[in-house]
């Protein structure tokens, strides 16, 4: 068996067939399939070169290096020739730049917008930063101690029930309010302090035009000597007028929260001019946007703050409600549907 002679024979045969392809190409009779058949015949898994490589193991050991070298040379030669032949029967497309009219106007690039809830959050943070408050963030997955117990929720309080709270395990839950951050803050910061705490909260409740299972809040906390309910009301009225204008009407209604005493809810007058006004305000013209009150002494004791020396106030507001009032949005669900027609308005 003379493998070197077979190699030369395969190369000569390839040259003859390649020359035939070139002639057909010059006469415009060759096509891509013709070149592909030539490639398969010599470079395919069952082609002529594969058969020669298979014979390497049958020749004497001392002859294998030279035979292998020549086989690789022939393989490289055939690959290069095939590629050149493909370029002749499949000419390259003209450069894209030659087809580009640089005088045409470009396609407009749409710009993103800031979500209305994000805009409201930034506005409120800016207002409270001017009042000397700091910003603090806390965990969304919380324990019962921070979400309930330290905030003076009794064991049988309805808010602990599964109908209101998303429980992850017996002790872990998705926070139902940002009030949990009050405890984290007072555990790590000594009074006096004034902080706001934005974040997302979760409640297992029916979805409607006024309520959703997840929403955003900003919690506020101030602890100092001689803080009063009057200071709390003045702070929140200042917030309302900064957001909605100097003529904004507000009212405070007595309420109940386990972690504040006394407690109140603050409403802003929405109006009663349209059917949407009636639906959102339940026919009253007023929309409740936050709950507030003086920090309960039990909450201060839970974090080792002496209620005889220190007093404080706290408030929590729903950002979606404030955004609804700001732009006259009649359904809270719009904030979560991801409809670009709605979001592009902002």
Radius of gyration, CA atoms only, the chain: 39
Both tokens assigned to 11 = 């190369």
* Burial (0-12, 13-18, 19+ Cβ within 10 Å), 297: middle
Q: What are the strands, taking DSSP E only, across 2-103? A: none
CB 119 within 8 A of CB 198: no
Q: Could you list the pLDDT tens digit for every one of the 346 residues in the chain?
A: 577 788 888 888 888 888 877 766 665 555 677 778 878 888 888 888 888 888 877 888 888 888 888 888 888 888 888 888 777 766 555 555 567 777 888 888 877 888 999 999 999 999 999 999 999 999 999 999 999 999 998 888 776 775 688 899 988 999 999 999 999 999 999 999 999 999 999 988 888 877 788 899 999 999 999 999 999 999 999 999 998 889 899 999 999 999 999 999 999 888 888 887 787 778 888 888 899 999 999 999 999 999 999 999 999 998 998 888 888 888 888 998 888 888 888 8
**Third-level CATH fold of 116-343:** BirA Bifunctional Protein; domain 2 (3.30.930)
| Domain map (residue ranges) of the chain | 3-92, 116-343
SS (H, E, C) 111-172: CCCCCHHHHHHHHHHHHHHHCCCEECCCCCEEEHHHHCHHHCCCCCCHHHCCCCCCECCCCE
Query: For residues 27 and 314, what is the distance between their CA atoms, to the nearest angstrom?
Result: 91
Q: Could you tell me the sign of the dihedral formed by the alpha carbons of 236, 253, 166, 258, in that order?
A: positive
Please tell me whether residue 187 adopts helix, strand or coil conformation.
helix
Query: For residues 225 and 191, what is the distance between their CA atoms, to the nearest angstrom?
Result: 9
pTM for this structure?
0.63
């Amino acid at each position: 068996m003379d493998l070197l002679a077979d190699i030369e024979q395969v190369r000569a045969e390839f040259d003859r067939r390649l020359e035939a392809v070139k002639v057909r190409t010059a006469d415009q009779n060759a096509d891509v399939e013709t070149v592909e058949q030539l490639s398969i015949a010599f470079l395919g898994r069952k082609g002529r070169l594969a058969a020669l490589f298979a014979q390497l193991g049958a020749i004497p050991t001392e002859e294998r290096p030279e035979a292998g070298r020549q086989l690789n040379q022939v393989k490289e030669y055939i690959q290069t020739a095939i590629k050149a032949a493909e370029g002749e029967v499949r000419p390259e497309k003209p450069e894209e730049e030659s087809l580009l009219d640089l005088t045409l106007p470009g396609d407009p690039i749409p710009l993103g917008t800031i979500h209305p809830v994000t805009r409201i959050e930034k506005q409120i943070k800016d207002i409270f930063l001017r009042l000397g408050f700091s910003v603090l963030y806390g965990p969304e997955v919380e324990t019962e101690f921070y979400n309930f117990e330290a905030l003076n929720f009794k064991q049988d309080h309805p808010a602990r029930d599964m109908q209101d709270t998303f429980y992850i395990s017996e002790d872990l839950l998705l926070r139902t309010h940002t009030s949990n951050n009050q405890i984290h803050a007072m555990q790590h910061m000594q009074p006096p302090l004034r902080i706001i705490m934005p974040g997302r909260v979760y409640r297992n409740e029916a979805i409607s035009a006024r309520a959703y299972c997840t929403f955003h809040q900003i919690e506020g906390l101030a602890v100092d000597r001689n803080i009063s309910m009057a200071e709390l009301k003045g702070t929140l009225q200042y917030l309302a007028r900064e957001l909605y204008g100097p003529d904004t009407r507000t009212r405070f209604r007595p309420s109940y929260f386990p972690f504040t005493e006394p407690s109140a809810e603050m409403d802003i007058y929405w109006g009663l001019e349209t059917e949407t006004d009636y639906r959102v305000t339940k026919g009253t013209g007023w929309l409740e946007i936050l709950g507030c009150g003086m920090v309960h002494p039990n909450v201060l004791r839970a974090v080792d703050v002496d209620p005889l020396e220190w007093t404080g106030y706290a408030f929590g507001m729903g950002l979606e409600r404030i955004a609804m009032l700001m732009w006259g949005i009649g359904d809270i669900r719009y904030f979560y549907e991801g409809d670009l027609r709605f979001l592009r308005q902002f």
